[in-house]
Amino acid sequence: MKAEDKKIIYTLLKTADAYECGYTREKFAGEPVFANDTELSFPGSTRESRQNRDVEMSGSSPNMTQGLSLDELNAKILRCTRCGLARTRNNVVPGMGVEHPDVLVIGEGPGHDEDMQGLPFVGKAGVLLDRMLAAIGLDRKSNCYIANIVKCRPPENRNPMPDEQAACFSFLEAQIHILKPKMILCMGKIAIEKITGQNISINAQHGEFFEYNGIPVMPTYHPSALLRNEELKRPAWEDLKKFKRRLDAIKAN
Ligand code: URA
């Protein structure tokens, strides 16, 4: 539905409600932000279509990115008002890194520092992430791109809600389609669950390989989890070494 249509329906309901009650209810105080529903739609954005993903994604259909460059896509992301996070954010955080990366790193969503700077993983967790990546020869300036499941900060650093993740996901799908990373590293449960569409136990399944449209994907512990629990650093390091072996093999072919 178009933003203007939503606004018309909202105004009608508001008028009818005020007429019925004889006053304007609190819930109507303040105007919501309306957005078009189908700004971007990419194959694979629903669970059902993901089942057919291998077939759909085997070619590189130009209309999947609607001809957008990464800069154009990120400019669209910067203007997004698809979900409530648009009302509380300071900055949108589309992502950063090189345009044809070896590795796409996917986090959960921006925190306070990222929201203030408009850049992903720039706080404490980001410093640790950069160290983890450097240990296996990766960095956002030369061979990685870093993005998140949601591009705006969830208030109080709560987990992004399913509807917020759903509203944002086609942006990530489009980024992946443009970036064409050789491998994807998912930091934590939220990222791997959204990418695979499966329930994942990070404790039991970190370091396993999954696939997204033919791209190998590995989940490991989120750097924030490593900051809270030092004991997770050893298994995370084992994951990273395994990830690097697979990346080296892909690059050697
Ligand atoms: N945590 C995330 O998941 N993403 C960021 O960008 C920063 C912290």
- Give me the residue spans of the domains in the chain: 39-252
Any ligand 1 atom below 6 A from CB of 115? no
pLDDT-derived band of residue 66, with 50, 70 and 90 as boundaries?
A: confident
Q: Is 109 in the pocket of ligand 1 (CB under 6 A)?
A: yes
Token reading at 90:
């300071």
Measure 147 CA to ligand 1 centroid, in angstroms: 8
Average pLDDT over all residues of the chain: 85
- Output the CA–CA distances (angstroms, integers) from residue 84 to 1, 40, 49, in the order listed: 17, 18, 26
Return d(Cα 118, Cα 100) in angstroms, integer. Answer: 21
C-alpha 68/C-alpha 74 separation (Å) is 9
Give the mutation target among 133, 172, 202, 224 for probing the ligand 1 site: most ligand atoms within 8 A of CB.
224
- Look up the pTM and report it: 0.77
Rounded to an integer, the average pLDDT of 22-41 is: 49
Write the DSSP string, 81-114: -SSTHHHH-SS----EE-SS-SEEEEES---HHH
Please say whether the dihedral angle defined by the alpha carbons of residues 41, 44, 47 and 51, taken in this order, is positive or negative.
positive
* CATH architecture of structural domain 39-252: 3-Layer(aba) Sandwich (3.40)
Does residue 49 register a pLDDT over 60?
no
Q: Is 30 exposed, middle or buried (0-12, 13-18, 19+ CB in 10 A)?
A: exposed
Look at residue 54 in the predicted model and tell me its pLDDT.
31
Q: Is 114 in the pocket of ligand 1 (CB under 6 A)?
A: yes
